[in-house]
């Protein structure tokens, strides 16, 4: 059996960007990517808002803050170079009520500390950029933009294949064992021998860590994000990207308006617990997943802390008029008839045993494995930077 230097589990944007960075550092490296689906980017990477975030929200000094800003610029360059559609549209974060103004000011301070270009707008400034949006004050972030991260992942996979990397689709990792100074990985299409493995399995990253013999510091709690899209007649209600002021107690960004790269306008996502790791609707559930959720004390404490926000999100998921009412806070002209359901995504959010959500990206290393245990938004924006960071860790391991 031939031996790889590095085998990457997961053909999402993080796994593919890691392979890309490894190859740039050393074109001679033998690399394989294992992807269980028949296409790359089938889960989080292909089911998101497509926004290039600019580093506004994240605590200064965090990996999210550092990687989002640099990663977004690298992603703009990558898309331009490889013909992936991308637009630097700019976004508004809009306060609609006086009590949100201190939080907006705090966001402005954070953004400035993170080196994000931004300016403040009053009501008439908002009306100039987004005539239908209602707000008291807003932050304008000109460097936020949009792309199609699924398309980026397909380009990455093609570049890898051209340079001799095997991207093995339809190949799921099911077991792993140490063998001498390397690993033997058992997959649904045969065994792979490798010196080092990198776990970029997204929604399954904790179970892959377990399968590798590591007790992960955090478990994945899948949160579904549901979207509506506007009918063609309502596409122009919003010109670019419009966000509410986020709730600091909740890591997701609130229902926002996103101009998509194909010209459509998406409203959402919300954040409701998914009943399976790949539970893209309420009908998809998994017994083992639900038993784990109910039996896990950390997850119970999380539910206790967030039950009010969670109940409101579930109500908005079940009743469209409630969702429309929330969206009308920013866009009073929006009507229920303007919205039709669109495909949902599921976020892989890591939760610690004490029930706190892991805020930053989280990577765990041991002798033969590097595990990416938390790579939620803005990991698609930051993927090329995250890939470069993991490639440096691989080099430190392999010498």
Residue with smallest beta-carbon separation from ligand FAD: 12
By the rule CB under 6 A, 246 interacts with ligand FAD? no
**Does 140 participate in binding ligand FAD (rule CB under 6 A)?**
no
From candidates 118, 133, 201, 261, binder to ligand FAD by CB under 6 A: 201
Q: In whole angstroms, what is the distance from residue 12 CA to residue 377 CA?
A: 13
Contact 235, 264 (CB under 8 A): yes
Least separation in angstroms between residue 9's CB and ligand FAD is 5
Query: What's the CA gap between 255 and 252, in Å, rounded?
Result: 9
- Candidates 6, 7, 8, 9; binder of ligand FAD (CB under 6 A) is 9
Asked if 346 is part of the footprint of ligand FAD (rule: CB under 6 A), the reply reads yes
**Min dist. Cβ of residue 6 to ligand FAD (A):** 15
Q: Does residue 387 belong to the site contacting ligand FAD (CB under 6 A)?
A: no
Query: With respect to ligand FAD, which residue has the nearer C-beta, 137 or 347?
Result: 347
For residues 264 and 228, give the distance between their C-alpha atoms in angstroms, rounded to a whole number. Answer: 11
Name the minimum Å distance from CB 124 to ligand FAD: 29
Shortest Cβ distance from residue 75 to ligand FAD (Å)? 9
Please state the closest distance from residue 142 (CB atom) to ligand FAD, in A. 17
Piece in contact with ligand FAD (CB under 6 A), picked from 5-13, 82-90, 299-307, 309-317 = 5-13
**Stretch binding ligand FAD (CB under 6 A), from 8-16, 119-127, 297-305, 391-399:** 8-16
Say if CB 80 and CB 63 are below 8 A apart: no
Q: Taking CB under 6 A as the rule, does residue 10 contact ligand FAD?
A: yes
Of 156-164, 298-306, 351-359, 375-383, the window that binds ligand FAD (rule: CB under 6 A) is 375-383
Q: Does 385 bind ligand FAD (CB under 6 A)?
A: no
- Which of 22, 23, 31, 51 binds ligand FAD (CB under 6 A)? It is 51
- Per CB under 6 A, 390 contacts ligand FAD: no
Q: Can residue 259 be called a binding residue for ligand FAD (CB under 6 A)?
A: no
29-37, 303-311, 332-340, 362-370 -> range binding ligand FAD (CB under 6 A) = 29-37
CA distance linking residue 42 with residue 279, whole number of Å: 13
Q: Is 94 a binder of ligand FAD (CB under 6 A)?
A: no
Q: How far is the CB of 62 from ligand FAD (least distance, A)?
A: 15
| Torsion angle of C-alpha atoms 111, 112, 115, 121, degrees rounded to 10 | 70
Q: Give the total of residues touching ligand FAD (CB under 6 A).
A: 41
Q: Is 65 in the site for ligand FAD (CB under 6 A)?
A: no
Helix axes 320-328, 297-318, angle to 10 degrees: 90
Sites of contact with ligand FAD (CB under 6 A):
9-15, 34-37, 42-45, 47-51, 53, 172-173, 200-204, 208, 225, 269, 345-347, 375-381
């Amino acid at each position: 059996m031939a031996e790889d230097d590095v085998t990457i589990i997961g053909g999402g944007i993080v796994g593919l960007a890691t392979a890309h960075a490894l190859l740039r550092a050393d074109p001679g490296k033998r690399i394989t990517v294992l992807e269980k689906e028949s296409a790359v980017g089938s889960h989080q990477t292909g089911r998101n808002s497509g926004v290039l975030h600019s580093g506004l929200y994240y605590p200064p000094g965090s990996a999210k803050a550092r990687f989002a800003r640099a990663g977004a610029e690298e992603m703009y360059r990558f898309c331009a170079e490889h013909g992936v559609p991308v637009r630097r549209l700019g976004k508004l974060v809009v306060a609609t009520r006086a009590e949100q103004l201190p939080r907006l000011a705090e966001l402005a301070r954070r953004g400035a500390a993170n080196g994000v270009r931004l300016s403040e707008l009053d009501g008439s400034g908002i009306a100039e950029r987004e005539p239908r949006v209602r707000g008291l004050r807003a932050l304008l972030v000109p460097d936020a933009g949009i792309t199609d991260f699924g398309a980026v992942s397909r380009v990455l996979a093609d570049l890898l294949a051209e340079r001799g990397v095997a991207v093995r689709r339809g190949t799921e990792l099911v077991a792993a064992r140490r063998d001498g100074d390397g690993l033997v990985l058992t997959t649904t299409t045969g065994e792979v021998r490798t010196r080092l493995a990198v776990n970029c399995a997204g929604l399954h990253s904790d179970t892959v860590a377990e399968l590798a013999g590591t007790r992960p510091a955090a478990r994945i709690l899948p949160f579904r994000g549901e979207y509506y899209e506007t009918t063609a007649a309502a596409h122009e209600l919003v010109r670019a990207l419009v966000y509410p002021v986020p709730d600091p107690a909740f890591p997701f960004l609130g229902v926002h308006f996103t101009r998509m790269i194909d010209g459509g306008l998406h409203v959402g996502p919300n954040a409701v617990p998914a009943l399976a790791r790949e539970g893209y609707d309420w009908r998809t559930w998994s017994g083992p997943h639900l038993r784990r959720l109910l039996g896990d004390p950390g997850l119970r404490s999380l539910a206790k802390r967030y039950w009010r926000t969670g109940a409101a999100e579930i109500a908005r998921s079940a009743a469209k008029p409630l969702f429309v009412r929330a969206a009308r806070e920013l866009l009073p002209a929006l009507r229920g008839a303007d919205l039709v359901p669109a495909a949902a995504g599921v976020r892989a959010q890591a939760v610690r045993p004490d029930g706190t959500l892991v805020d930053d990206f989280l990577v765990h290393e041991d002798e033969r494995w590097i595990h990416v245990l938390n790579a939620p938004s803005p990991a698609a924006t930051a993927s090329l930077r995250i890939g470069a960071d993991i490639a440096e860790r691989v080099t430190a391991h392999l010498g």
